[in-house]
Amino acid sequence: MKQLGAEFVGTFWLVLGGCGSAVLAAAFPEVGIGLLGVSLAFGLTVLTMAFAIGHISGCHLNPAVSVGLCVGGRFPASQLLPYIVAQVLGGLVAGGVLYLIASGQAGFDVTAGFATNGYGEHSPGGYSLTAALVCEIVMTAMFLVVIMGATDSRAPAGLAPIAIGLCLTLIHLISIPVTNTSVNPARSTGVAFYEGGLAVSQLWLFWVAPIIGAALGALVYRVIGSED
């Protein structure tokens, strides 16, 4: 239960910190943090939680990461479903808290943008379903390669949170224009639930693509990272 509680709290922080920066601060008049700030915010949520709860639960904060680590032989399949449930619940609660904060501003319209992910007309840059699918698969695959490499027993000790946090920042810098960056089904679900509409109807892609990508990334690392 401590592990599941840690995953709940960690995913809550990721969604509130990352999506919160996008909804509340990205375009704030004259001093908005913009794409770079949002990208950094997502990276910082993972970095801070990796130091805070990594020793408790492994700090997955992401169903795709849990699946990838399972495929990579780093995580038992028996714990997969409880971890995913805790992560999704953490994301949903964070989305609810963010909605309460954001709706305190006059004129707030959740359908005008709530840091949700999408493709086609719901993509920030108007990118197609195929582009979004490829982007999410590749970005999540590389995320898993970095996670597994940084946490390998042969890697420099204690630096994994920094590498993983910076990797997530880079992923956002690349892919926010394409899908608003998911690579995390819990993050996508946590805000799509409150926006509804296209965010919900397109949510399937942000479960399927990250999970496929995570499994591929884990398999790649098992090949290149083998000690044989």
Reported as a single tens digit per residue, the pLDDT across 61-112 is: 999 999 999 999 999 999 999 999 999 999 999 999 999 999 998 888 888 8
Q: Render pLDDT for 136-158 as a digit per residue (tens, 0 to 9).
A: 999 999 999 999 999 998 888 88
Provide the CATH topology of domain 1-225.
Glycerol uptake facilitator protein (1.20.1080)
Domain boundaries, the chain: 1-225
What is the pTM (predicted TM-score) of this model?
0.93
| CA pair distance 58, 51, nearest whole angstrom | 10
Instruction: Locate 9 and state its tokens.
Output: 């709290």
